[in-house]
Structure 1
Amino acid sequence: MTATAQRVFSPRVRNNQESRFEGTVDGIVYKANYFNLLMEPHPDPIGDRLVVRVHHRASDLTYKQISIYIPANLEGGEHQLARMNKNIFVDYVNYSDPENPTAHKSVGGTLEFSFDEQSNSITGNLNAIMDNSGSDGGGTFAIAIIDFLVSGKQG
């Protein structure tokens, strides 16, 4: 008698079922399929930061990443994103061409957020004007994400 192994397929479960981060980047639909919320420790004068990091990964395994950096002691509410604001900012990195990724940083716009420490989750709206890192402002575009929710690990 021969024994055969059977492979059991189970549906893939996302890391955070309730997390959502959808909107547009430069007029193109952006829907994150990977979500991360973490606290990053940094020495003074930077200090601890709450970091929201999301990816939109395509079927060819290239991805586009948005990261929002918020000082840990900043109260929720609406905050300005400005070129000179080093405290709260947004990064966007497009890895569609893995040999030549492009990085962008917020130079204007607003971030409205609320952080719930008990559930370790952040909700809000992001309207950012982005520019090439180190650019002169010639290639700006907008990121618009309405009613996002990103949950971190409980613990």
Structure 2
Amino acid sequence: MTIKIVCVGKLKEKYFKAAIAEYAKRLSRFTKFSIVEVADEKAPEKLSAAQMDQVMGTEGDRILGKIKDKEYVIALAIKGRQRPSEVFAQELKDLATYGHSDVTFVIGGSLGLSPAVLQRANDQLSFGQLTLPHQLMRVVLSEQIYRAFMINEGSPYHK
């Protein structure tokens, strides 16, 4: 199985980079894991609805440019489906079992994901209605992917 996270913006904080590096190292025994960053679109603080759509559209095009046709795409979205870690683990296992060996997670920028990205997604995952910085979301998602592999292995890590 290959797992990729496509996300908007560069990871700047050293502590986030260190956490991602740790989970990438842990995941290396289970899967090929990578993070692909696309540039965020510079925008003023106050945006009109049309400007917001334009920013999300531009970032969305960049995201879609990093996704191949064969990849199973899971978009992180507040309106996505929440699930317990055990269910998430089973879903990842089922994807690998039933021919979806390339799984791509997508984390949008500060404005969220464009309709085109959400339409391309095979599934939407939510970590709840809290708003988290998208840089922190990379760490949370990486940990949950690692947790899923540990659950599927029967390891006590997840308890």
The answer to whether TM tops 0.5 is no
Larger fraction in helix = 2
Select the structure with the greater relative contact order (CA < 8 A; seq sep ≥ 6). Answer: 2
Rg (Cα) greater in structure: 1
Which TM-score applies when normalising by structure 2?
A: 0.28
- The structure in which a higher percent of residues are strand is 1
